[in-house]
Amino acid sequence: MRNRKLMWWVVGAIVVVLLAGGGIALAVARGDGKPRAATPSSVPPTSAEPAPTTPPPSPGADITGPLDLVLLGVDTRVTIPDWEPHSDAIMLLHVDKGLKSAYLYSLPRDLRVKMPAFAKAGFGGGTYKLTEAMSRGSRVPGSKKANVKQGYELLTKTLSAYTGIKQFQAGAILNFGGLDKLVDQLGGIDLAVDQKVSSHHRKPDGSLRPLVGGEYQGPAAVYLPGKRHLVGWQAIDYARQRYGLPDGDYDRQRHQRQMVRAILTKALDQGLAADSAKLEGVITALGETLVYVGGRTPLEYAYALRDLEPSKITLVGLPGNGVGGGSGYLGEALTAEGRGFLTALTKGQAPGYLAKHPKLVNK
């Protein structure tokens, strides 16, 4: 079995990935994340022993919010040392002060944004698609190896400039292969499919469709509306599709948010953090597919978010449109309504704004 200190570190990171920390009390019972070793003794305690003192507060007990966390799904080739990571799914979680309610929303991967200069990567800045921030920021001058955490740094600087959110307290970066494994380790997830989705990549049995002449051929996996139980490859395949959907990538973003909440619900229903055997299985399944970036430790954020339930996470969809120029399609831009939500969020006015714009709320 792996070292338990590492085990609790990964558990904390998983909790950040799943956007909550229900049931994590077991992991922080001691306060330093290390298991308490048994201390056998044949000498019974006597009345002369000092009375037990009040234990110190659990790590993370001083975190009161608000918090802004980043959840990124990256290209599966992030595990290749010289592959520049692209953030294909960009989700942000804003947790209100008190840490009992939150908003999960997405930004389009093709969002046209201004990126600041970033000396670490030899990047002079400019206007590009948001997905490029990770790749451009990850470059190490004089080396072919990519630095994922460095890419995350440029991405969050770009996000701050665009959203007005001054600081992101932590982030979790997981490739799609890792999500596939996580869902299978949980025994699949239950998801309310909200529209018919045909897979661009997979056959009904999960095998890859053949690519012929630049087009995928043969029968495709189809996800019909209704309550469905999805195994790992189905959940990820469903959440990755955009072709053939009425709103393309915006539909895909909604499905990704729904998948995250379904994963969280299943994890909490199973008592993941209180079952060491299940935890060990999840750790083994994720391997090196997870990267955590933050100031405080994952364990502290996990404890702080222990009371954030899935039902208290509002899923928000930000509408946008394609923009073009002389060279054709350049990317996406949020509508005034979508940008308005970001402004309201930074001012602590999200509930009132969503009450006036109820169509932004996803089920």
pLDDT digits (tens, 9 = 90+) for 212-252: 988 899 999 999 999 999 999 999 899 989 999 999 999 99
Biggest CA–CA distance in the chain, Å, is 86
pLDDT in tens, 178-191: 678 788 888 999 99
- Burial annotation 27-42 (CB, 10 A radius, 16+ → b, else e): bbeeeebeeeeeeeee
Residue type, 157: K
Chain position carrying tokens 């002369």: 48
- The tens-digit pLDDT sequence of the chain (363 residues) is 333 333 333 334 444 444 333 322 222 222 333 333 333 334 444 555 565 677 788 888 899 989 999 988 876 554 555 667 788 889 999 999 999 999 999 999 999 999 999 999 999 999 999 999 999 999 999 998 888 889 999 999 999 999 999 999 988 887 766 678 788 888 999 999 999 999 998 999 999 999 898 889 999 999 999 999 999 999 989 998 999 999 999 999 999 889 888 887 887 777 765 565 665 666 566 655 666 677 777 667 777 887 888 888 899 999 999 998 777 899 999 999 999 999 999 999 999 999 999 999 998
Write down the pLDDT at residue 146: 85
Please spell the DSSP secondary structure of 28-54, one letter per residue.
GSSSSS--------SS---TTSPPPPP
User: Which amino acid, one-letter code, is at 128?
Assistant: Y
H-run or E-run covering 173:
strand 170-175
pTM score above 0.85: no
Query: Cα separation of 155 and 170, whole Å?
Result: 13
Per-residue pLDDT, 179:
75
Could you tell me if 318 and 251 are in contact, meaning their C-beta atoms sit under 8 angstroms apart? no
d(CA 87, CA 111): 12
Residues 181 and 286: beta-carbon distance below 8 Å? yes
Cα four-point dihedral sign 232, 233, 236, 237: negative
Closest by CA to 27, choosing from 18, 39, 15, is 15
